Amino acid sequence: MAHPQNSENAQSSKSSNKVDDGRQKNSVLVGDSQPKLFFSFLTLFPEIFQPVLGSSLLGKAKTKGLVDYRLIQIRDFATDKHRTVDDTPFGGGEGMILKVDVLHAAWQEAQRQPPREGKSLTVLLSPQGRLFDQEMAHELSSYAHLTLVSGHYEGVDERFIDLCVDREVSIGNYVLTGGELPALVMADTITRLIPGVVGNERSLTEESLEKGLLKYPQYTRPREFLGRSVPDVLLGGDHEAIAAWRQGEMERRTAEKRSDLWDLYSAALKRQKEVQFGK
Ligand code: ADE
């Protein structure tokens, strides 16, 4: 949603609700190339993001110009002298609620000067959201702009969700203190799927979960350690035998360690056979 020049966005019912009030606050726009994917992080704690986004593969992906991001401090969009971002809930109840007017203004900043033409999506990190998984990561890696909103306190005003949020996403069935770590988990998982980020593209297709199975066991030198040897098949150089062993290990491990994934895999395999053999 949200990019006016993009037809998919233009179809979004939400984008038509937005009023640009012309304000420009001090978000941080990092880099000015045209990356494949641009993240806008809305947060009250931008300092959590910098070290993670600047390290390891994520840092390299930015240096190579494959992804880019900006951090938008929600508090910059508070309108009172105390820079208030939250308030007590109407009707009573525990905790504080993030204010719709402040969040909306911060969100508008994220949609200003869209970094690149293409699909755009606003995600609210929330334990109430759809569970994030590898499949969703693949889907989101095709977007040009992802706005990830990290909530805090007891929740956000529902009207912000109605007006601006395309999807609520949870990273697991547990409650964190805020959406910052979940936003980073999503950004990390999605970024490594962008072509060129992970050096060896084949390693992506061979890793855990890409085929619905866990990865096979791996070994490197020394051949023997504390009485434990590397399986003979891996030392023989017979590539067919190695591939067959790895496939068997993937299935065995998945059935043993993740019966939930194994049930899904077996059901998909059964359906595939039924289609193939016309049953
Ligand atoms: N915020 C708090 N807990 C969360 C979770 N499990 N997933 C996403 N956002 C959250």
CATH number at residue 149: 3.40.1280.10
- Amino acid identity at 186: M
Q: Are residues 87 and 54 in the same domain?
A: yes
Pocket residues: Cβ below 6 A from ligand 1: 125-127, 170-172, 174-176, 179, 182
Helices 239-257 and 259-276 pack at an angle, to 10 degrees, of: 120
| Spatial separation of the C-alpha atoms in residues 146 and 37, rounded to whole Å | 8
CA of 155 to the centre of ligand 1 (A): 11
The pTM assigned to this predicted structure is 0.84
Nearest of 124, 197, 136, 194 to residue 165 by alpha carbon: 124
**Residue from 98, 171, 186 whose mutation best tests the ligand 1 pocket (most atoms within 8 A of CB):** 171
What pLDDT does residue 19 have? Answer: 34
Residue 278's pLDDT is what?
77
Q: Are residues 106 and 214 in the same domain?
A: no
Q: pLDDT of 161-183, one tens digit each?
A: 999 999 999 999 999 999 999 99
Q: Say how many Å lie between the CA of residue 179 and the centre of ligand 1.
A: 5
**3-state DSSP helix/strand/coil % of the chain, to nearest 5:** 40, 20, 40
Pair 41, 101 in one domain: yes
Which is the closest atom of ligand 1 to the Cα of 125? Answer: 9
Report d(CA 248, CA 254) in Å as an integer.
10
**Residue 113: per-residue pLDDT:** 79
In 10 A of CB 244, how many CB atoms?
12
Same domain membership, residue 162 and residue 44: yes
Final residue belonging to a domain, choices 128, 159, 191: 191
* SS (HEC) of 89-106: CCCCCCCCEECHHHHHHH
Predicted local confidence at residue 279, as pLDDT: 62
Please say which residue of 191, 225, 252 terminates a domain.
191
Same domain? 133 vs 210: no
pLDDT of residue 179: 98
pLDDT for 272 equals: 87
Q: What is the pLDDT of residues 38-68, one digit of tens each?
A: 999 999 999 999 999 999 999 999 999 999 9
208 HSE (CA, 13 A, CB side): 12
The CA–CA distances, whole Å, from 128 to 73, 175, 228 equal: 23, 10, 45
- Which residue's C-alpha comes closest to atom 2 of ligand 1? 176
The CATH number that applies at residue 219 is 1.10.1270.20
Residues 54 and 124 in one domain: yes
- Say yes or no: 14 and 85 in one domain: yes
What is the whole-number distance in angstroms between the Cα of residue 170 and the centre of ligand 1?
Answer: 5
Domain shared by 178 and 220, yes or no: no
The domain of 112 spans: 7-191
User: Nearest residue CA, atom 4 of ligand 1?
Assistant: 127
Q: Is there a domain that residue 33 lies in?
A: yes
Backbone angles phi, psi at 53, to 5 degrees: -70, -25
Distance (Å) from CA 242 to ligand 1 centroid: 40
Answer whether the bond into residue 222 is a cis peptide, omega within 30°: yes
- Domain shared by 128 and 65, yes or no: yes
Q: Which of 123, 132, 170 to mutate to test the pocket of ligand 1 (most atoms within 8 A of CB)?
A: 170
Low-confidence ranges of the chain (pLDDT < 50): 1-13, 15-32
In a domain, 1, yes or no: no
188 with 58: CB under 8 angstroms? yes
Q: Which of 161, 175, 177, 185 to mutate to test the pocket of ligand 1 (most atoms within 8 A of CB)?
A: 175
- Ligand 1 centroid vs 123 CA: distance in angstroms? 12
Q: Which pLDDT score, from 0 to 100, does residue 25 have? A: 40
156 by DSSP, 3-state: which?
strand
Closest by CA to 96, choosing from 154, 173, 170, is 154
Quote the pLDDT of residue 22: 32
Nearest CA to ligand 1 atom 9: 126
Overall number of domains in the chain: 2
Domain contains 106: yes
Residue that is last in its domain, among 136, 159, 191: 191
CA neighbor of 71 nearest in space, from 106, 105, 120: 106
* Both structure tokens of 89: 């809930």
